Amino acid sequence: MPFLNEEVKEWIAMELASLGVEDLAVYALEAGTEGDERRVMVATEVGLLDHRYAPFGSSARYRLAMLMYPWQVLRGVELRADTFRLWAREHRTRWSFRLHHPHFEAATESPDLGQALCDLARVCAVMAEPFGVPAGRVSSDVPGVIPGGPRPLPAVEPTPKPDAGEAEEATETSAQVEKSETDGDATPEAGDDKAKPTAVPIGDGEEVIELSVEDRAAVPTRSDDQA
Please tell me the total count of domains within the chain: 2
Encode pLDDT of 135-182 as tens digits.
445 444 444 444 444 455 555 566 665 555 565 666 666 666 666 656
Determine the pLDDT at residue 175: 65
Q: Which helix (H) or strand (E) holds 177?
A: helix 164-194
- Higher-pLDDT residue of 91, 69: 69
Residue 200, in any domain of the structure: no
Residue 186, in any domain of the structure: no
Residue 144, in any domain of the structure: no
Amino acid at 208: V
Residue 98 clears pLDDT 90, i.e. is over it:
yes
Residue 115, in any domain of the structure: yes
For 87, the domain range is 73-131
Residue 165, in any domain of the structure: no
Q: What is the DSSP string of 87-147?
A: ETTEEEEEEEEEEEETTEEEEE--HHHHHHHHHHHHHHHHHHGGG-PPTT--GGGSTTPPT
The CA distance from 31 to 28, in Å, is 9
